[in-house]
């Protein structure tokens, strides 16, 4: 059995707990938009009784182009995420990209995410571990499932064992990703809860030349397959108008489609848990 990672009384990962949803827009586009999305996502997850953590990035530091929108930045972004916590009583997740950021972000974030491209950066990974917060590691597109054990050891060296492991696809030639579903049970063998990133897994990195594109239409298929393989959490970037989103629009789930997809995931999860 996978060890339990407890965020609060309502959100518990692994063990015999129901899957947790990590979801929200890719990047903070505005304070108003984030608050509207948090409100709508909380309505859906409350209705379906799904434990939920709001996700949005205050800085997308790994954009393809220097011209790409990155977000409001650390200070302003954390203030917006604090409003989400205060007004909707939701835990929040965002990425950190430097050692300096980790301590500041850890004062607000409930879950600190290590981006896939930075998952081997020892100083960053240990700095995040030292915050004592739940750490969600995105497995790098360049890492094999068993390579994640080295990342785990780095975080554990800080005394922090509140670790989540996220599969987000592996590089498959140029501008393409593929998901090996064997990686999900393989990473769960570490004893830590596993998250499936259903939206970045259909991203086509750099596929538009100066930006990434994606294949949103395949999100439901990969979601159903991953839940069937046995996971502890689903990660999805969700937007009310993804076609005009400032980041990752082509692979984000439309808000209007989320409820039906989550219902399917719940049904499959119930079958897996009975088995």
Query: Tokens in use for 22?
Result: 């990590």
Q: Is the pLDDT of residue 266 over 80?
A: yes
What is the rounded average pLDDT of the residues 252-268? 98
Q: Which domain holds residue 64?
A: 5-274
Which are the contacts of 197, defined by CB distance < 8 A and separation ≥ 6? 138, 166, 167, 168, 169, 235, 236
What CATH code is carried by the domain that includes residue 114?
Answer: 3.20.20.70
pLDDT at 208: 67
How many domains does one find in the chain?
1
Report the 10 Å Cβ neighbour count for 31: 16
What is the rounded average pLDDT of the residues 71-99? 97
What is the rounded average pLDDT of the residues 109-133? 97
Query: Is beta strand 203-204 parallel, antiparallel or unpaired with respect to 213-214?
Result: antiparallel
Q: Is the pLDDT of residue 72 over 90?
A: yes
pLDDT at 273: 87
Q: Is the pLDDT of residue 169 over 70?
A: yes
This prediction has a pTM of 0.96
Return d(Cα 171, Cα 131) in angstroms, integer.
31
Return d(Cα 115, Cα 39) in angstroms, integer.
26
pLDDT in tens, 207-256: 667 677 889 999 999 999 999 999 999 999 999 999 999 998 999 999 99
Return d(Cα 77, Cα 57) in angstroms, integer.
8
pLDDT in tens, 240-250: 999 999 998 99
pLDDT at 204: 85
What is the rounded average pLDDT of the residues 32-55? 98
């Amino acid at each position: 059995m996978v060890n339990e990672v407890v965020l609060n009384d309502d959100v518990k990962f692994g063990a015999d707990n129901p899957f947790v949803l990590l979801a929200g827009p890719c990047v903070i586009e505005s304070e108003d938009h984030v608050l509207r999305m948090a409100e709508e996502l909380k309505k859906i997850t409350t209705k379906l009784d799904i434990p939920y953590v709001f996700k949005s990035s205050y800085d997308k530091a790994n954009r393809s182009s220097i011209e790409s929108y990155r977000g409001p930045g650390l200070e302003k972004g954390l203030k917006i995420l604090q409003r989400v916590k205060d007004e909707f009583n939701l835990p929040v997740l965002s990425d950190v990209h430097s050692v300096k950021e980790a301590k500041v972000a850890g004062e607000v974030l409930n879950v600190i995410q290590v981006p896939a491209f930075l998952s081997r950066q020892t100083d960053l990974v240990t700095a995040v571990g030292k915050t004592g917060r739940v750490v969600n590691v995105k497995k790098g597109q360049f890492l094999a499932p068993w390579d994640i054990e080295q990342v785990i050891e780095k975080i554990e060296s800080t005394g922090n064992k509140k670790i989540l492991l996220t599969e987000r696809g592996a590089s498959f030639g140029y501008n393409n990703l593929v998901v090996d579903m064997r990686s999900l049970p393989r990473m769960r063998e570490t004893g830590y809860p596993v998250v499936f990133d259903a939206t970045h897994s259909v991203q086509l990195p750099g596929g538009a030349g100066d930006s990434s594109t994606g294949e949103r239409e395949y999100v439901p298929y990969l979601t159903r397959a991953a839940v069937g393989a046995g996971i502890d959490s689903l990660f999805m970037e969700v937007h009310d108008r993804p076609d005009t989103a400032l980041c990752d629009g082509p692979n984000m789930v439309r808000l209007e489609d989320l409820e039906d997809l989550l219902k399917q995931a719940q049904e499959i999860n119930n079958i897996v848990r009975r088995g």
